[in-house]
Homo-oligomer: A and B are copies of this chain.
Amino acid sequence: MREKFQGDLATIAGLLVEMADAVRTAIRQATGALLHSDAEQAQQVILADQEIDAHYHNVEEKVYEVVALQAPVASDLRLVLTSLHIAGDLERMGDLAGHVAKTGLRRHPAPAVPEELTGVVREMATVADQMAGKISRVLSTPNVTRATELERDDDAMDDLHRRLLATILDASWSHGVEAAVDMALLARFYERYADHAVNAGQHVIYLITGKAQNE
The interface residues of chain B lying within 8 Å CB-to-CB of A185 are 184-185, 188
The interface residues of chain B lying within 8 Å CB-to-CB of A181 are 165, 168-169, 180-181, 184
A64 touches B77 (CB 8 A): yes
Is there a chain B Cβ closer than 8 Å to A122's Cβ?
no
B64 touches A68 (CB 8 A): no
The interface residues of chain B lying within 8 Å CB-to-CB of A64 are 74, 77-78, 81
Q: How many copies of this chain does the complex contain?
A: 2
A73 touches B78 (CB 8 A): no
Is there a chain B Cβ closer than 8 Å to A39's Cβ?
no
The interface residues of chain B lying within 8 Å CB-to-CB of A177 are 168-169, 173, 177, 180
The interface residues of chain B lying within 8 Å CB-to-CB of A97 are none
Question: How far is the CB of A193 from the nearest CB of chain B, in Å?
Answer: 15
156-215 of chain A: CB within 8 A of chain B: 165, 168-169, 173, 177-178, 180-181, 184-185, 188
The interface residues of chain B lying within 8 Å CB-to-CB of A169 are 177-178, 181
Return the 7 tightest CB-CB contacts between A and B, nearest first.
A71-B71, A181-B184, A68-B74, A177-B180, A169-B178, A68-B77, A180-B181
> Can you identify 8 A-B contacts, CB atoms within 8 angstroms?
A67-B67, A165-B181, A168-B177, A168-B181, A177-B177, A177-B180, A180-B181, A185-B188
